Amino acid sequence: MAFESGSEPCEFEILDARFDDCIRKSARLERLASGCRWTEGPVYVPAQRRLLWSDIPNERMLSWCEVSGHVAEFRRPSSYTNGHTLDRQGRLISCEQGGRRVVRTEHDGSLTVLASHFGGQRLNSPNDVVVKSDGTVWFTDPPYGICDDYEGVRAPQEQAGCWVYRLDPVSGELRVMADNLVHPNGLAFSPDERCLYVADTGVERGTMHRFAVDADGSLSGGEVFIQCDTGFYDGFRCDTEGRIWTSAGRAIHCHAPDGALIGRIPVPERVSNVSFGGPKRNRLFICATSSVYSVLLAVNGVKPC
């Protein structure tokens, strides 16, 4: 949906004057790739100038080269990977819904399993992951990879619930950090890491919750921060000013740090996840159903992606 702003057609819906500072009205949504079944987990790899993402039902990962525009398969089979991020050493961290584990791709290409069990039971199906500046790996564990064979492998749930976990990759300690959500999904820290935002897709209307990260590293709070009026929040990321850029049905929603919805970017397909990338981190990559899109913004994403 395009509409007029002055004499120039604009693809952005400005709901609050604060959104003016976030966009270039001449920028356009670009479709970079298509032909997938359900895309998720975009992650930009600066050293390669490539975007990686998951095509979950086809059990593969793909890549798009920023220099050539070439799209290729990156990993197949992928154990139904969903969300990805980079750690502080630039290594790929991936949630495998089929493998029911979180893995790290080493610089030599080998895989290291970071987490597969908690309390002696298999994880449900890790969905999305972020790495904190102290190197700890935080991920969510809803059941979407075990409820049928479409996005994983049908299997009984072994955990008593769906939690938010923190993994210390040095000691191997895996700890439940939040147990009050139905199906925790996307997650991201605020730029100062004093807040952790987590989406819940197990409720009737999608919610995003805000936890305070206390000085000892534990979480408190967890109240509903925002609620989606067009379906669910799945994945999202913050920019350096603390705004939240989130999937919301067939659109990207931008929320100010106070929670106000300040702008929308309509997308032709239902959006799953977003991630900032490009050499200046001012390009928002968008996984939406069968395709991957991008749009250049006037903001910069926080590291890591």
Q: Which residues bind Mg ion (CB under 5 A)?
A: 127-128, 185, 234
Q: Measured from the CB of residue 180, what is the shortest distance to Mg ion in angstroms?
A: 18
Q: Measured from the CB of residue 61, what is the shortest distance to Mg ion in angstroms?
A: 15
Closer to Mg ion at the Cβ: 125 or 127? 127
Q: Measured from the CB of residue 128, what is the shortest distance to Mg ion in angstroms?
A: 5
Give the β-pairing of 271-277 and 261-266: unpaired
Longest CA pairwise span in the chain (Å): 62
- Choose among 213, 210, 305, 228: nearest CA to 264: 228
Q: Measured from the CB of residue 97, what is the shortest distance to Mg ion in angstroms?
A: 10
Q: Measured from the CB of residue 144, what is the shortest distance to Mg ion in angstroms?
A: 8
Closer to Mg ion at the Cβ: 27 or 178? 178
Closer to Mg ion at the Cβ: 13 or 234? 234
Spatial distance between the Cα atoms of 289 and 24, rounded to a whole number of angstroms: 25
Closer to Mg ion at the Cβ: 127 or 275? 127
Closer to Mg ion at the Cβ: 22 or 162? 162
